[in-house]
Each structure stands twice: as C-alpha cells, then as structure tokens.
C-alpha cells in the first residue's frame, strides 16, 4: 500500500523538510518511499506534513541507495520531480553519475526513455557524457541506435569539444562508433549530423575493418551509400580481409549500389580475389600423389598401403 510523502507517516525523513515543492499528489513521489522499495519498515513515529522534495533530500542523506530515486523518476517519466531533484543535486557528480547494475547513468536512462529535455538538464548539472553502460555504449551511442535526433542534438551541443571528439571516436564493446550504429539502423539525418561534427566517415570496426560504407553495402541501403559518398567515404578502403565496398556488392541484389561504387572504385579492387573462385577448388587437388601427408599409417597392427 502506497504512503503519501506528505502524510503523517513520513516519519524521520520529514525532519529535514524545507519548502522546495508543494506537498504533492505525484504518484512517483509516493512510489519512491513505499517501504518495499526502500527496504525499511514504516517509521513508527508520526511527524508533521512536509514537502516531497524535502523528504527526498532527507532520504538521500540517510540511504545508501538514494541515487536510485533519480533513476526511478526518469524511468517513470516524472518530469517535475526529476527536474527538482536535478536542481537540488547540481554539481554533485557522484550522485549525478551514479550507475545502476547495468552501468547506466541517469543520462543513459533519459536517452533510453526519449526525454531530451531531461538529458539537457542532466548535462547542465554536470553529468558525464562519456560514461559507458554494460555494452560499452555512451548515451550518444544509444541515441544513435534509437534514431532520436533531438537527443543526439542535445548530447552533441552541450558537450565540450574534448568530450565530443572522444565520444565520436569511441567504440562500444561490439566495435561500433556512433556513426556505425546510425548507419546500421539507417538514420540518414543522424549520419549527416555526426559527419558534420567531425565523425570519421572512414572509421573501421576493430574486429574486421568494415567502414560505414561497407555496412551500407551489407545492408543494401543505396540512399545511405549515396550520402556516405557525398560525405567523403573512401570507396577504396578495404577490410582486414582485403575487401572493398564494391567487392561486397557481388551476389547481392542492388544494381544501383554496384553502379554507384563501380564508377569510383579502382579496377584492382573490383574483382573478387582468386581464392574465392569456386573452380579452383575443383581443379587443384589438396595434395599431389607425391605429396601425401603420411605414408606410415598403421591400423590394427597392420601397415596401410596408400
């Protein structure tokens, strides 16, 4: 059963009350201080009615998990309470950058729940935009993955130049930059925005060396191919196995992409390597008669004649 933060059951938390927000009808304010969530039984002694934000402040001082209240306010999209908490803890970097069990900060959660206004307030209060979640994603990685141009705009506008450069070059644990994620999901507006801010259009995945242009070919997205070419993508950049974007068009249905890249790719990077020629497997035996790997095989005590 939920208890109102302003009720007489507020107990010792209300001792630190102050006039911050009117005693409220906020369901999340009530939700936060339900005894099941706090892990405490209801305080035994009644106390005078106080404002919810003041009660929150008292709880923050008393409980080691107080930072979780900000996370919950964001998750439940209680914007008024969230903004008030952010105002009170502005500059408290340990509080603002607290990470949950998925290594998500309040800024990650604001992006996930598509609340760019909250993300802006968090950044102005001191949230670190470079912290990573359990998948190695910064908040900007998540915004690019979700296709939220408003969040991308906020995160890139309020970053310092040093932060922005670092985030644009950062890869998550799958080896993807923000530009890679925007390309994979086909968000052309975000791709163009990131490149305009200085993202490396030719950045390669650490695991196999694919660029955004290689990914566009893999995904058969001709509009993305056109945009990346316009942004200066290198058609002759090869993966770690030696494949150009054009070579990835072989066997794929989009003739438009093949035509786009064929006009720009070096001739030496248009044909597949000879090792990929299926006929070579039929015409070249693995061993010649004089090159058999073993000539002394024994089975059941008897030497085998090869």
pLDDT digits (tens, 9 = 90+) for 30-69: 444 443 433 344 454 555 555 544 444 444 444 446 788 8
Q: At 71, phi and psi to the nearest 5? A: -60, -45
Q: Which fold has domain 65-163?
A: 1.25.40
Average pLDDT, the chain: 79
pLDDT tens for each residue of 197-218? 999 999 999 999 999 999 999 9
Please give the Cα distance from 275 to 295 (Å, whole number).
29
- Mean pLDDT computed over 290-300: 54
Identify the weakest region by mean pLDDT among 160-164, 181-185, 297-301. Answer: 297-301
- Mean pLDDT computed over 227-248: 96
Note the Cα 35 to chain centre separation in Å: 34
Look at the block and give the residue holding tokens 């304010």: 29
Take residue 300 and report the two structure tokens written for it.
């059941």
- Mean pLDDT computed over 163-186: 96
Q: Which residues pair with 132 in a beta bridge?
A: none
Sequence-distant (6+) residues with CB within 8 A of 237 are 202, 204, 211, 213, 244, 245
- pLDDT at residue 274 tops 80: no
Please give the Cα distance from 26 to 23 (Å, whole number).
9
Please tell me the pTM assigned to this model.
0.70
Contact 155, 140 (CB under 8 A): yes
Take residue 236 and report the two structure tokens written for it.
């002759």
Q: How confident is the model at residue 271 (pLDDT cuts 50, 70, 90)?
A: confident
Provide the pLDDT for residue 200: 97
Provide the pLDDT for residue 35: 34
Residue by residue, DSSP assigns 177-231 as -HHHHHHHTT-HHHHHHHHHTT--TT---TTT---HHHHHHHTT-HHHHHHHHHT
- pLDDT at residue 288 tops 90: no
DSSP state of 270: T
Q: How confident is the model at residue 3 (pLDDT cuts 50, 70, 90)?
A: very low
């Amino acid at each position: 059963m939920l208890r109102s933060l302003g009720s007489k059951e507020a107990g010792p938390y209300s001792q630190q009350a102050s006039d911050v927000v009117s005693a409220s009808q906020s369901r999340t304010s009530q939700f936060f201080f339900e005894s099941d969530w706090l892990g405490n039984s209801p305080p035994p002694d009644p106390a005078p009615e106080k404002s919810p934000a003041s009660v929150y402040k008292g709880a923050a001082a008393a409980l080691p998990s107080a930072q979780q209240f900000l996370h919950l306010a964001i998750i439940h999209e209680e914007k008024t309470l969230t903004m008030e908490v952010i105002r009170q803890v502005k500059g408290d970097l340990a509080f603002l950058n607290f990470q949950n069990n998925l290594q998500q900060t309040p800024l990650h959660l604001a992006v996930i729940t598509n609340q760019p206004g909250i993300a802006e307030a968090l950044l102005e209060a001191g949230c670190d935009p470079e912290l990573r979640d359990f998948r190695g994603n910064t908040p900007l990685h998540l915004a690019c993955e979700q296709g939220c141009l408003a969040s991308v705009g906020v995160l890139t506008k309020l970053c310092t130049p040093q932060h922005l450069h670092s985030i644009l070059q950062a890869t998550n644990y799958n080896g993807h930059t923000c530009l890679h994620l925007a390309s994979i999901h086909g968000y052309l507006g975000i791709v163009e925005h990131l490149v305009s801010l200085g993202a490396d259009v030719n950045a390669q995945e650490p695991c196999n060396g694919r660029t955004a242009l290689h990914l566009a070919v893999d995904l058969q997205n001709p509009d993305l191919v056109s945009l990346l070419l316009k942004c200066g993508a290198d058609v002759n950049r090869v993966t770690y196995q030696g494949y150009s974007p054009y070579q990835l068009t072989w066997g794929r249905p989009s003739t438009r992409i093949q035509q786009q890249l064929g006009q720009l790719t070096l001739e030496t990077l248009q044909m597949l390597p000879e090792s990929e020629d299926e006929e070579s497997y039929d015409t070249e035996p693995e061993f010649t008669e004089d090159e058999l790997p073993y000539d002394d095989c024994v089975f059941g005590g008897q030497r085998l004649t090869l």
